[in-house]
Amino acid sequence: MMISPTGLLVVISGPGGVGKGTVCAELLKDGEMALSVSVTTRRPRPEEKEGEHYYFRSREEFNRLRAEGRLLESAEVAGNLYGTPRAEAEKLLAAGKTVVLEIDVQGGRQIKDILPCLTIFLMPPSPAELERRFRYRGADSEQVMAARMALAAQEMEAAVDYDFVVVNDELDRAVEEVRQIIRAAREKEDGI
């Protein structure tokens, strides 16, 4: 099923630990954009809230949503499932909103194949900085962290498939760069 959005769909991807969530949270502060909240099977982190950061579901519930066609995209990352609820994204786009999808590279590819969208890849300043950020989180074992770093290296290779690449070396600068890219795309779409 193809969607005919009237809003602007923005896909923001990058390796885990690059700061996608932080950048997206900053983008949403001015009220010009809406975030499509993803569904995941991973356990919530202490600061995460149901319906605000993710919809936390069991693997069985997630698979049912996917089988029923209620997800625009889905992917498995580090043993957990993630997906974008179709109804929420469609509703926001139909209302003319700039809708931000904070999703991994697998999901970004799926969305790009079915919908017109603006794609932005967040890149860490270096692999060493990305590893430092993972360690700062303190949420993963050494084995999981090694797997995340290996996955991050693969995901960073996909940056060439995105419309824009933004290095998240300094949060305020990176957020402003992403915001300017989105504004320019919206103005072009609106014929301004």
Contact 168, 19 (CB under 8 A): yes
What type of residue sits at position 21? G
Domains and CATH numbers, the chain: 8-187 (3.40.50.300)
Q: Alpha helices, DSSP H only, in 68-141?
A: 86-94, 105-114, 127-137
Does the pLDDT of residue 121 top 90, yes or no? yes
Whether 171 contacts 188, CB under 8 Å: no
**Tokens matching residue 96:** 């003319």
Mean pLDDT to the nearest integer, 42-58? 91
Per-residue pLDDT reduced to its tens digit, 63-117: 999 999 999 999 888 789 999 999 999 999 998 899 999 998 989 999 999 889 9
- The pTM (predicted TM-score) of the whole model is 0.85
Tell me what the mean pLDDT of segment 124-133 comes to: 85
Residue 124 predicted with pLDDT over 60: yes
